[in-house]
Amino acid sequence: MNDAHDDGLIRKAIGVLGALIMAVLGSAGLGFLLSPLVQKRDEGWVDVGPADAFKPGTPVQIQFVERTRDSWSVTEKRSSAWVLALDNGQITVFDPRCPHLGCPFRWNILDKRFQCPCHTAAFAADGAVISGPSPRALDRFESKIEDNRLLILPRPTQGHS
Amino acid sequence: MREWLKSRTGFEAIWKALFERAIPEAKGPVAWLYVLGSASLFVFIVQFTTGCLLAMSYAPTPDHAYDSVRFISDQVLAGRLVRGLHHWGATFMVVLVALHFSRVYFMGAYKFPREATWITGVCLLLLVLGFSFTGYLLPWDQKAYWATAVGTNIAAQAPVIGPSVAAVLKGGEEMGAATLTRFYAFHVLVLPALTALLIACHLFLVIWHGITEPPAREEDGAGDRRL
Ligand code: HEM
Ligand code: FES
């Protein structure tokens, strides 16, 4: 084992093995550290029931539980939204807070419009401003239908102009 | 006992190298500039000690961080003092290291052959700033949260890699539980380990090269060599 040839071979073997071990441990560690870059994001779609349960033309208020996930901790919050189904099966979901200062508005069955109790803002069924202090139409939640389930994303996208 | 230690450990040689080495005979106010490195070391040791104590009652989760810090201040015996020492020590550390850095710069003590000492010093300066950045978040109050939001947003402004750097710092797209545990791990494990290692290298180099004399003016005679 003392001659130079063997010595070189052992050194090389130790070098290669060492590099291999470092590569495996190193890439595992680096992956752990960089995991935020590849984590799949929980987009937050909420299933609020069968899509054909909504009668076309009349907005209804739905209640649901919204889960927000912060790494390992999940917070549950009661939330609501207004859902308007149209004859052609299209569905619009409104943020239940008035765009003026955030009061919960209601659907007035007689006048067929949304009314805010706080400062009398009024909106048409499609969310457009009819009267009052609201700076814009009702804010909407994104929604989609999958297998006849209505899914909504309870974060406001700015109301259409 | 002393003889036994001497024969078994060789500590005498180490003691001599550390504490009985030749140092510059600077006199007057200039001499005080030479304490800045040792003062940084002292404050680092204070930070280390008080930090170990704080870690015994601190919980790095969004649910408990703020309350555990309040608990330290209000309930733990001498908690307010220990937390205060760590808090003010953190600021003082930056001041001392900056002053030490300035003395080394203005005396030209970074020049040949002390470049390696300087480089380990620059790394130490960055580590100290890393401590400040990660430590600031830990109380998890409004100031802590928003300062870190600003800090990570600044990182996100860097071209191309900015957003990825910010995500790795925050441990995700948004600041939250993962940000706090990440910053905590860096503040109490990664940075102290690196800092201790670098201080060892730094001090080894300081002793290895010896400490620079204060720069002299020509009329003091130092320029005579030019004759
Ligand atoms: C944790 C922070 C630091 C500690 C604990 C530390 C500690 C020390 C100590 C005890 C000395 C002995 C001489 C003296 O005290 O003036 C020294 C010298 C030195 N330090 Fe630091 N230092 C730190 C940061 C820095 C920084 C940020 C720099 C510059 C980038 C630096 C550059 C140097 C150099 C070049 C010397 C040699 C000076 C000479 O030979 O006269 N150090 N350091
Ligand atoms: S909050 Fe609805 S009108 Fe002011």
Compare CB distances from B177 to A33, A41, A70 and report the shortest one's residue: A70
Burial of A94 (0-12, 13-18, 19+ CB in 10 A): buried
Instruction: For residues B209-214, give the mean pLDDT.
Output: 91
Q: pTM for the whole thing?
A: 0.79
**Residue A76: strand, helix, or coil:** strand
pLDDT at B224: 47
- Structure tokens given for A4: 């130079």
Which atom of ligand 1 is least distant from the CA of B110?
35
A97 alpha carbon – ligand 2 mean position (Å): 9
Q: Cβ atoms within 10 A of the Cβ of A60, count?
A: 13
Of residues B26 and B126, more confidence is placed in B126
C-beta atoms surrounding A45 within 10 Å: 15
Give me chain B's average pLDDT, please: 93
Which pLDDT band, with edges at 50, 70 and 90, does B25 fall under? Answer: confident
Distance A114 CA to ligand 2 centre (A): 11
What phi and psi, each to the nearest 5 degrees, are found at residue A91?
-130, 135
Residue owning the nearest CA to atom 1 of ligand 2: A101
pLDDT of residue A87: 87
DSSP per-residue string spanning B191-224: HHHHHHHHHHHHHHHHHHH-PPPPP--GGGTGGG
To the nearest 10 degrees (0 to 180), the angle between helices B142-156 and B115-137 is 130
Sign of CA dihedral A72, A73, A76, A77: negative
Q: How far apart are CA A12 and CA B149, in angstroms?
A: 49
B105 C-beta neighbours (distance < 10 Å), count: 12
Q: Which helix (H) or strand (E) holds A49?
A: strand A46-50
| Neighboring chain B residues of A37 at a CB cutoff of 8 Å | 164, 167-168
Query: What DSSP state is assigned to residue B114?
Result: -
Tokens of B6: 């001497």
pLDDT band at B78 (very low <50, low <70, confident <90, very high): very high
Protein residue whose Cα sits closest to atom 3 of ligand 2: A119
Pairing of strands A140-146, A46-50: unpaired
What b/e readout covers A104-142, taking b as 16+ CB neighbours within 10 angstroms? ebebeeeeebbbbeeeebbbebebbbeeeebeebbbbbe
Task: Note the ligand closest to the C-alpha atom of B101.
Answer: 1
The domain made up of B30-209 has a fold known as: Cytochrome Bc1 Complex; Chain C (1.20.810)
Q: Is B47 in the pocket of ligand 1 (CB under 6 A)?
A: no
Low-confidence ranges of chain A (pLDDT < 50): 159-161
ipTM: 0.74
Taking residues B193-220, what's their average pLDDT? 90
Across the range B73-93, mean pLDDT stands at 96
Closest partner residue to A71 among B164, B167, B176, by Cβ?
B176
Q: According to the model, what pLDDT value does residue A2 have? A: 55
Inter-chain contact B178–A71, Cβ cutoff 8 Å? yes
Return d(Cα A83, Cα A62) in angstroms, integer: 7
Residue B174 distance to chain A (closest CA, Å) = 8
> How much is the pLDDT for B220?
55
Domain ranges of chain B: 30-209
pLDDT at residue number B227:
40
Question: Cα separation of B169 and B100, whole Å?
Answer: 29
